């Protein structure tokens, strides 16, 4: 299981082992549909819309089939999740077919694995690894529009507090979007209740608007507040950013 953006992805699969056999090109023939595991077909489920290797996949539950090749694999998302293996696979039920997924050498792997790595914001890689090779799928779960809708809904509620405004501002600053809104929300958060962490969020929002002198002053206040709360880690990381903004304010 893995969350990418706002989408929760679950892959249910069985893990066959090498057991001294030659796998691709022998046990798993090249150019033929493979269940991508063992026993029941592998099932891929996502709670949100995804872009996989540049192609769109709606939220839903799919059987994950592959067609191994020497240099490229086909990866298939099929709407029939009740199949046992690939014998009754029907291409007419395909929802998405990726025809040239990259295959590359990998560390020797005894038992077949599907896992996620290189997670960042709305993106991740899903890796299919077995024997001495792996296939890489680039997954993106665009969440910005939904996140902004969630933020506006949260801020419209009567119980929206300084935490809500600070989180909203931080999301925008970290994503490099809506800098004016982020600044307004950060200012409101600090105005409602001042903490070292939301004070630093305000400093980041100021810096995102190239207000470096203001960011330095606010950042120094956040450093002092963090010190008073005995959060040495925050104090140190805040000071690093204050030093950076100080150089920018001086045009260096």
Within this chain, do residues 150 and 211 fall inside the same structural domain, yes or no? yes
Within this chain, do residues 213 and 116 fall inside the same structural domain, yes or no? no
Number of domains in the chain: 2
**Cβ atoms < 10 Å from Cβ of 73:** 25
Separation of first and last alpha carbons in the chain:
45
Within this chain, do residues 89 and 174 fall inside the same structural domain, yes or no? no
Within this chain, do residues 148 and 46 fall inside the same structural domain, yes or no? no
Within this chain, do residues 99 and 82 fall inside the same structural domain, yes or no? yes
Single pTM value for the model: 0.68
Within this chain, do residues 99 and 157 fall inside the same structural domain, yes or no? no
Q: Render each residue's pLDDT in the chain as its tens digit; 252 residues.
A: 999 988 899 999 999 999 999 999 999 999 999 999 999 999 999 999 999 999 999 999 999 999 999 999 999 999 999 998 777 899 999 999 999 999 999 999 999 999 999 998 789 999 999 999 999 999 999 878 778 888 999 999 999 999 999 999 998 998 899 999 999 999 999 999 999 999 999 999 999 999 999 999 999 999 999 999 999 999 999 999 999 999 999 987
Tell the residue number behind the tokens 């990726």, with chain if given: 98
Within this chain, do residues 198 and 98 fall inside the same structural domain, yes or no? no
For residue 199, give the CATH number of its domain: 1.25.40.10
Three-state SS string over 121-186 comes to CCEEEEEEEEEEEEEEEEEECCCHHHHHHHHHHHHCCCCCCHHHHHHHHHHHHHHCCCHHHHHHHH
Q: What is the pLDDT of residues 82-139, one digit of tens each?
A: 998 777 899 999 999 999 999 999 999 999 999 999 998 789 999 999 999 999 999 9
Within this chain, do residues 24 and 129 fall inside the same structural domain, yes or no? yes
Indicate the residue among 100, 121, 140 that finishes a domain: 140
Indicate the residue among 140, 155, 173 that finishes a domain: 140
Within this chain, do residues 13 and 134 fall inside the same structural domain, yes or no? yes
Give residue 45's region: left, alpha or beta (phi > 0; psi -120 to 50): beta
**Cβ atoms < 10 Å from Cβ of 176:** 9
Cβ atoms 66, 53 nearer than 8 A? no
Within this chain, do residues 50 and 159 fall inside the same structural domain, yes or no? no
Within this chain, do residues 151 and 136 fall inside the same structural domain, yes or no? no
What is the span of the domain harbouring residue 237? Answer: 144-249
Within this chain, do residues 197 and 180 fall inside the same structural domain, yes or no? yes
């Amino acid at each position: 299981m893995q969350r990418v953006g706002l989408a929760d992805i679950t892959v249910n699969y069985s893990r066959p082992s090498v057991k001294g056999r030659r796998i691709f090109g022998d046990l798993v023939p090249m150019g033929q549909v493979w269940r991508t595991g063992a026993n029941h077909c592998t099932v891929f489920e996502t709670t949100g819309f995804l872009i996989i290797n540049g192609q769109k996949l709606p939220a839903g539950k799919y059987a994950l089939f592959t067609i191994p090749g020497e240099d490229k694999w086909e990866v298939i998302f099929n709407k029939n999740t009740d199949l046992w293996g690939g014998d009754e696979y029907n291409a007419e039920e395909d929802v998405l077919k990726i025809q040239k997924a990259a295959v590359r050498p990998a560390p020797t792997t005894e038992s077949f694995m599907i896992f996620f790595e290189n997670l960042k914001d709305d993106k991740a890689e899903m890796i299919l690894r077995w024997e001495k090779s792996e296939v890489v799928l680039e997954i993106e779960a665009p969440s910005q529009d939904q996140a902004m809708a969630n933020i506006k809904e949260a801020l419209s509620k009567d119980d929206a507090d300084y935490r809500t405004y600070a989180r909203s501002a931080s999301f925008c600053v970290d994503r490099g979007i809506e800098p004016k809104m982020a600044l307004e929300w950060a200012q409101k958060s600090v105005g409602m209740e001042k903490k070292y962490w939301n004070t630093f969020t305000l400093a980041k929002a100021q810096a995102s608007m190239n207000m470096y002198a203001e960011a330095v002053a606010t950042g120094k206040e956040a450093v002092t507040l963090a010190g008073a709360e005995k959060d040495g880690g925050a104090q140190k990381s805040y000071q690093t950013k204050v030093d950076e903004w100080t150089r920018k304010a001086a045009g260096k």
